Amino acid sequence: MRALSLYQPWASAMARGLKQAETRPWRPSAALIGYRIALAATAKMMSPGWGALAEGPLRDDLREVGFSVQKVGVKLFHDLPLGCVVATGVLTDIVPTCNVRLGEEVRVDPEPHALGKVLYVTEREHRWGNYETGRFAWLFEDVVPVDPPAWARGKQGWWEWEPVCASGHPLWIGEGPPEEGWCDGGCV
């Protein structure tokens, strides 16, 4: 499965439903639209500057979904998972940030606008992204948490994630009972 690494707390925000759109300065290949993608948390936090997010509405959002983030002096204390796949989700659309508008819910309006389709985002979605001009919102739907998070060594850009159970069998994360040759993690 193709995998993408996100810094925390954005990875867990995606896994816990605080956000559906990942904003990046580049557009992924349109061939990936419709595919389920593994969403991983990087092994390291972004920078000490992240501490600024430990206050205000982002911190409150995280508390709402069960994470504790606290800044004490220059140190950041948190219980966010690092270096693991936290969710999978289907990449359903890519919309340039100049076509993003605030709305009541997160949805794409495919009506032919002069400048292409429009992505409506809620205020919460908006504060969890970087919607400066020249960027792209990658919309994920049907996001399913990988719980507990699965350890994975990520990379920049796209990488391949091959999920395994605790015994090293290929791990079934699809719908329904595992197909032959796959393990649902119940072997241990």
Q: Which residues bind Zn ion (CB under 5 A)?
A: 165, 167, 169, 183, 187
Q: Which is nearer to Zn ion, 71 or 169 (CB)?
A: 169
CB of 167 to Zn ion, least distance (A): 4
Helix or strand or coil: residue 83? coil
Q: Which residues are bridge partners to 69 per DSSP?
A: 78
CB of 187 to Zn ion, least distance (A): 3
The token pair that represents 84 in the structure block: 């693991």
CB of 148 to Zn ion, least distance (A): 15
Q: Which is nearer to Zn ion, 114 or 188 (CB)?
A: 188
Q: Which is nearer to Zn ion, 157 or 177 (CB)?
A: 177
DSSP state, residue 94:
E
Q: Which residues are bridge partners to 58 per DSSP?
A: none
Q: Which is nearer to Zn ion, 138 or 172 (CB)?
A: 172
| Rounded Cα distance, 76 and 49, in Å | 10
Per-residue b or e along 89-98, where b marks 16 or more CB atoms closer than 10 Å to that residue's CB: bebebbbbbe
CB of 165 to Zn ion, least distance (A): 3
